[in-house]
Amino acid sequence: MSSPKNFPHATNNFTHAALCGFALLVFSALFILGACGVPRATSQRSKQQTHAPRAAASTATPQQTLKPVYESPVLERLVAAAVERTSHEVEYDSSYFKLDYPGGDVPEGKGVCTDEVIRSYRALGVDLQKEVHEDMAANFARYPTTFGLTSTDRNIDHRRVPNLRVFFERKGKSLPITDEATDYRPGDILTWDLNASQTHIGIMVDVPSATPGRYMIMHNMGQGPKIEDILFAWKITGHYRYTGPPPPAPKPTPANATSRRGAR
């Protein structure tokens, strides 16, 4: 029979093994998803942000509440879809999921920062899973090799911030990154570098911040989709505007479908 004095030692070994296993699981999840994560230094900052959606605009000054001018009606609809996402309860889950294709999504009530962008566009009929996969399949060498892949993976490619950055730059507009809030408009896509291994993405919406001339961002930093004043909270790495794929070209009229009027 084991001596009682050996029990504490065995317990310590079990605790150490459990902690190591948990750390490995967290690291694996971040690597799989492309480091769209929650920085440890962000928790206090997030508590200081304004969470109020559209209703909060009534307390802003007239200068702040001017209706933004959109260069495309698609962007206005994107903003509305992004704001609507804040009514959903979403558990932050960076797990790898097997998805349907096209139109696949992670389980309802789960997701990360990229999933909120994907769901906002999908509300407009734009399927980023399909669009990203098709572009990566045709131009794989242009996409990051960070994840050690040798081919596309339509379950995860569109859920990675580095891949979305390349896609939006190729298929949308890549806009200047400045320190002027007025250079950023509702409907714009923003990406950030949180630290050496974590990235983030969100959509600017038409909810004014407390700072005149600046709008807030819909994003998921671990507490579900929120609208917060985070434009300059971290280093901005990407500024994009994307309205979806171009409409298909009209099919040519067959030669035998021309009018035969006058032929007798």
Q: In this structure, are residues 182 and 212 in contact, taking their beta carbons and an 8 Å threshold?
A: no
Q: Is residue 15 part of a domain?
A: no
Mean pLDDT computed over 9-37 = 49
Here the CATH number for the domain that contains residue 56 is 3.90.1720.10
Q: Into how many domains does the chain fold?
A: 1
For 90-135, write each residue's pLDDT tens digit. 999 999 999 999 999 999 999 999 999 999 999 999 999 999 999 9
In a domain, 24, yes or no: no
Is residue 56, in this structure, part of any structural domain at all? yes
Q: Is pLDDT above 50 for 46?
A: no
pLDDT of residue 261: 55
pLDDT, average across residues 15-20? 47
Q: How confident is the model at residue 252 (pLDDT cuts 50, 70, 90)?
A: confident
The verdict on residue 18 lying in a domain is no
- pLDDT at residue 197 tops 60: yes
Q: Name the percent of the chain lying above pLDDT 70.
A: 71
Q: What is the mean pLDDT of the chain?
A: 82
User: Range of 239's domain?
Assistant: 40-244
3-state secondary structure of 92: strand
Displacement of CA 36 from its chain's centroid (Å): 9
Question: What are the Cα distances from residue 99, in Å, to 162, 190, 255?
Answer: 20, 25, 43
> Which of the two residues, 165 and 149, has the higher pLDDT score?
165
Please name the helix (run of DSSP H) or strand (run of DSSP E) that holds residue 201, with its range, or none.
strand 199-208
Q: Which residues contact 70 (CB under 8 A, 6 or more apart)?
A: 76, 185, 186, 187
pLDDT at 249 (0 to 100): 81
Q: Which of the pair, 183 or 17, is modelled with greater confidence?
A: 183
- pLDDT at position 51 is 38
* Residues 230-247 pLDDT 10s: 999 999 999 999 999 998
Confidence category of residue 260, pLDDT binned at 50, 70, 90: low
Q: Is residue 22 part of a domain?
A: no
Phi, psi dihedrals of residue 40, rounded to the nearest 5°: -60, -30
